[in-house]
Amino acid sequence: MPSNGEKEGTNVPLLQDSASTNVPLLQGSASTAPSPDDSAGTLTRRFWIESKKLWHIVGPTIFSRMASYSMFVITQAFAGHLGDLELAAISIANTVVVAFNFGLLLGMASALETLCGQAFGAKKYYMLGVYMQRSWIVLFICCVLLLPLYVFASPVLKLLGQPDDVAELSGVVSLWLLPVHFSFAFQFPLQRFLQSQLKTMVIAWVSLASLLVHLLVTWLFVYKMQLGLIGTAITLSFSWWVLIFGMFGYVACGGCPRTWTGFSMEAFSDLWEFVKLSVASGVMLCLENWYYRVLILMTGNLQNAKIAVDALSICMSINGWELMIPLSFFAGTGVRVSNELGAGNGKGARFATIVSVVTSIAIGVFFFILILIFHNELALIFSSSEAILQVVSKMSILLAFTILLNSVQPVLSGVAVGSGWQSIVAYINLGCYYLIGVPLGILLGWVFHQGVMGIWAGMIFGGTAVQTLILAIITMRCDWDKEAEKAATALRNIK
């Protein structure tokens, strides 16, 4: 697969630092790790060894992502028991306004996967701290530029067809969520800084502490102090900053002595080059993240929109909760593929891809069956409204298929990140999601009068399924030995 010079730099051995972890399985290169074509080892043994390497990254990442996302789910659940209007407002604020910026900022922060990977592989450890500070600067400026979306959330939502009462309350909530918005600029770079050094357990423990704080503060503000919907927004903002201070406290207090040497003026140099790389990295992820936000907005234009938005938001929350698992495989696969390619082991990268895809699909099938079995009970933690419960139960089949498809697609995207194919995947996302999926959803939803079920079905089978198929074909046709050669060339060019 072709890739430009900058993105080939992602193909570095991220797992070389023996001081950052005491896990021998993750320290070996192609010379020490069993090769997929090693006739002395059975397929089962090789699968087991690769699985242990993968799960060392994926396990803590799943926990930390689930804990962080659970803060949003808990907030939404508390709001749902305040009333249907409150549930719709917090759902729109979280899944449209906040998540719109979340996708862009998360994608921009993924530039650190390239830069920190290069610095770590080249043993220029101090540069990891410099790169993280550059990311803080760039993402903070981006947060400031995105402020109008929060300030003018109500008129924008009305313009997009949301009911007036929902749009007005969503606008108020959005303003109270501004601290969450600015937390992204610091949290995402910190996570990637630690992840590049395999310090995923640190992120997991801090995430657990933040989740427990969030439960306590939400109970205190909503039930004891009776602050209502605004109280739920305040607790979310508070808990996300606890997450940031926890991770930075670990870094600044000696947890990363070689990679964090304090604040540096060097962080203000080469910012334009960093901006270009951040934007390029952000396009791939934000196009995908925005896709299901479009689904929520389109549903808001249907008749009886409030019930439809509530039900769909609940389904998207459940989907988002489970999506933390394949997204963790996205991160783990990117590290494993990048490590093997950086070590010159193309066959190892291919085998790592196979193990990750098979494992993620198996988990996806499990949740597919679980959703079908408990379709009547899915919405109980969010709402007691009989109308909403019935609509969610009806939507469960589409939710199940969405989860199944999403068990494959993020893993293949992780292969793309590890191999430096981000720009190619960005074009694929644009074409499949917005030129096929959205028009098909509109056609089924309005022209064929299938409502929210039609919109969702069109976007799943027209967008996500086609994109997954294309990524699978690209991955299967990849010349892994050639990709390993490109990685070796990129490593030699690091000064």
Among 251-255, 275-279, 300-304, 335-339, the least confident range = 300-304
What mean pLDDT comes out for the span 151-163? 83
CA 411 → CA 237, 286, 356, distances in Å? 30, 16, 7
| Token pair belonging to 440 | 């098909």
Does residue 202 fall inside a structural domain? yes
Does residue 163 fall inside a structural domain? yes
Among 53-57, 81-85, 203-207, 427-431, the least confident range = 81-85
Counted domains in the chain: 1
Does residue 10 fall inside a structural domain? no
Residues 6+ apart with CB under 8 A from 24: none
Among 182-191, 269-278, 353-362, the least confident range = 269-278
Does residue 6 fall inside a structural domain? no
Count CB atoms within 10 A of the CB of residue 144. Answer: 12
pLDDT in the model for residue 19:
35
Residues 6+ apart with CB under 8 A from 255: 199, 202
What mean pLDDT comes out for the span 484-493? 65
Does residue 41 fall inside a structural domain? no
Does residue 245 fall inside a structural domain? yes
Rounded percentage of the chain residues whose pLDDT exceeds 90: 16
pLDDT in the model for residue 490:
59
- pTM, two decimal places: 0.73
What is the torsion angle, in degrees rounded to the nearest 10, for the CA atoms of residue 328, residue 329, residue 334 and residue 338? 120
pLDDT in the model for residue 369:
95
Does residue 9 fall inside a structural domain? no
pLDDT in the model for residue 28:
37
> Range of 354's domain?
48-492
| Token pair belonging to 273 | 């080059």
| Token pair belonging to 130 | 């410099």
Does residue 16 fall inside a structural domain? no
Of the candidates 269, 275, 319, the one whose C-alpha atom is nearest the C-alpha of residue 73 is 319
Helices and strands counted in the chain (H then E): 22, 0
What mean pLDDT comes out for the span 357-380? 90
pLDDT in the model for residue 236:
85
**Residue 366, pLDDT above cutoff 90:** yes
